[in-house]
Amino acid sequence: MSTKVSVLLITYNQEKYIKECINSILNQTYQDFEIIINNDCSTDKTLEKINEFDDERIKVITPEYNQGINAALTNLCYQATGEYVVFFAGDDMLREKHLETTINYLESHPDIDTVYVNVTQIDENGNIRTDLGKDFNKTVDASTANQLHYAFMQGNFAVSPGMVVRKSALEKILPLPYSIVNNQDFKMHIDLMINGSNNCILDDKLVLYRFCRNKSNISAPTFVTEVRESLEFEYVMNSFLKIKDINLLKDIFKVEIEQTGIQPYEDTIPYFIGRMAMLSKKSAKREWGYHKIIEFLTTKENFDILNKRYGFVYKNLLNLTSELKNTTFHRCYKYKKLFNKFLVCSIVLSIICIGLGTVLVICGLK
């Protein structure tokens, strides 16, 4: 039996919250939906709590072993029968008009494939958090080019809880990469746009998003989370190399093209995108851009292409490193110089102290 909407719910060890979550879906003002739950081999009573519901619209999938977020979402997408799919987690809740608002918007805007909503953050006990001071979703111009520009130069601009996507658009980016954890939604947003999907971010706060301080949460602000995000960064940024539409590239980087005079061509896309990244204020993006350029320039053929297109010669390659100020490399070099100066000063001071001590001893003996 097909339905209009498939709510795809991922859950792992969320026995404390899963009933609230499911009830928030069942209590929607819009009722033409199915709920497909991926219980990712929970070791607590999550599955028992789910089985307490007697509703034929609820279907549960349990994989053979714990596989993670993108594996769960991919499996759920393949099972969905709805025209629209909603992404959701087992510790969050939907406001009662979420489906009514988002589906009506998509129905009346056939040119839009994805709708993002804003969220209200709650703590472990369901209390609204007032210590954050800003929304997760960024205010970004609705055009695909401007959103891709923000994503490229800055970072993520939307959150995935409660996002609604036309299944036909989602199928173009499946399967989702299983290994991406903390950047999985960011990559999904980018890939949807690169594959031609337009989106809209609604101001309506239609999701209660549970942000726990529990350090076992993969999104908790810990050292491990930051390291994982950093390690995933290059893979996510590589998505931009898939853009082959020259007009789209010109639209995304129109300001940078005007500033530098560097135009994109079909045979120079990796170099062009690398050069654009080196204009970012984010040091990690500048470093990534430099890496893409030197990867492109490993062959004589590509050197010849750049020489033909831009008059690029070996001296230009050497000069690129001067643009890596305030990056990891630059900071390490600066700290190394400071350390060396400190070391020299310490040695000199020690010699002076030893010499002074020797003189005092000799004077005392006399």
Which 3-state string (H, E, C) describes 163-192?
A: CEEEHHHHHHHCCCCCCCCCCHHHHHHHHH
Kindly state whether residue 218 falls inside one of the protein's structural domains.
yes
Kindly state whether residue 104 falls inside one of the protein's structural domains.
yes
Do 102 and 223 share a structural domain? yes
Do 284 and 216 share a structural domain? no
- Work out how many domains the chain is built from and give that number: 2
Residue 295 pLDDT level (bands cut at 50, 70, 90): very high
Kindly state whether residue 53 falls inside one of the protein's structural domains.
yes
Do 40 and 92 share a structural domain? yes
Do 227 and 251 share a structural domain? no
Kindly state whether residue 354 falls inside one of the protein's structural domains.
no
User: What is the mean pLDDT of the segment spanning 18-45?
Assistant: 97
Kindly state whether residue 351 falls inside one of the protein's structural domains.
no
Residue 135 pLDDT level (bands cut at 50, 70, 90): low
Do 174 and 36 share a structural domain? yes
**Residue environment code for 307-324, b if the CB has 16+ CB neighbours within 10 A, otherwise e:** eebbebeeeeeeebeeeb
Do 214 and 181 share a structural domain? yes
Do 168 and 63 share a structural domain? yes
Of 210, 239, 188, 217, nearest to 85 by C-alpha is 188
Q: What is the pTM of this model?
A: 0.84
pLDDT digits (tens, 9 = 90+) for 167-191: 999 999 999 999 999 999 999 999 9
pLDDT at 271 over 60: yes
Q: What is the pLDDT of residue 226?
A: 83
Domain boundaries, position 268: 243-323
**CA 230-12-199 angle, 5° bins:** 60
